[in-house]
Structures are given as structure tokens and as C-alpha cells.
Amino acid sequence: MADSSFDVVSKIDRQEVDNALNQTVKEVGHRFDFKGTGASISWSGQKDIEIKANSEERANAVLDVFKEKIVKRNLSLKILDAGEPKPSGREYRLVVALKEGIDQENAKKISKLIRDEGPKGVKAQIQGEELRVSSKKKDELQEVISLLKGKDLDIALQFVNYR
């Protein structure tokens, strides 16, 4: 009998992030506490979002609104890597990077976790920015998924190509 397998990935639904960003732009434009603060949020390249405001507190407030919109769209806050607001002329800028893909260090950590705490017949292979987990029994794969969901890892994980 052939092995069953699934892939552990860390991908971002760009359309959902864009929708959350657009909702944040609308809310910042309409809310009374943001009037006259020069608060704005926009894409800065492919994987970065830039927040601008006239004070550090306002920049953090825009970030909080954005995080709220991300959560409402069923995305994990682990995809965001927010820096600190830095003064730039008359305004404060805050850059939020989006984390996508499983780097080698995290892949090794997840692989070791599966070997140590998972069922005995399960194998994990690192394939670029994803991890292939295979086993002869589908029940063991279900156990691995529950194990990984139960651990507090610093990246958002999705489980795809289950077969």
C-alpha cells in the first residue's frame, strides 16, 4: 500500500490581506480620532505594508485596526512582523513585513518535533519552503496535524495536499 502524505506550508492569502488593508484605509479615513493626524496605511512593495502618522501612538493605533481586520478575515497574526515606529521628518513610519514560507530553521524544528513527539511510522522531509509528512496510516497523519496545531510555533501553518 502506498504512503499517505500531506504538506505543511506557510502561505499568505494576498487577496485577504489586501481586503483587510482596504478596510483599514476606509476606517482610518472615517474615524474621528484619526482626523488631522495624517494617518495612512498602504502597500510598500510586494511583502511590506507601510503605516504613516504624525505620532507614535497614532501609528500603533492604525496597526491595531489593521490587526483587527486581519483577524476578522480568518488570517493568523503570525503572518505579520511589525517593527517599531521610527521618526521620519515630521511623521512616524512603521513597516509591517509579511512572513511567508517556512525557513530552514523552523522546518528543522518542526521536523524534529514530529520525530520526537509524533507517531513512530511518520517521516518528515524538508522540500524548499515546505515540509512533506508521510506515513502508511492516515490516522498517524491526523495525529501529526493535531500535534502541530497544539504547539505554539512562531509561524502560521496550513496543511495541504492531503492524500
Name all domains of the chain by residue range, CATH numbers in brackets: 4-11+102-160 (3.30.70.860), 14-98 (3.30.70.990)
- The answer to whether residue 161 scores a pLDDT higher than 90 is no
One-letter amino acid of 107: A
For the stretch 92-141, pLDDT in tens is 999 999 999 999 999 999 999 999 998 988 999 999 899 999 999 999 99
H helices within the chain, ranges in order?
A: 14-30, 56-72, 104-117, 138-150
| Coil, helix or strand at residue 78 | helix
Predicted local confidence at residue 72, as pLDDT:
96
Q: Has this prediction a pTM greater than 0.85?
A: yes
Q: Grid coordinates 492604525 are at which residue?
A: 62
For the stretch 30-70, pLDDT in tens is 999 999 889 999 999 888 999 999 999 999 999 999 999 99
More confident residue, 162 or 80: 80
Instruction: Burial-class residue 77 by CB neighbours within 10 Å (0-12, 13-18, 19+).
Output: exposed
Predicted local confidence at residue 29, as pLDDT:
94
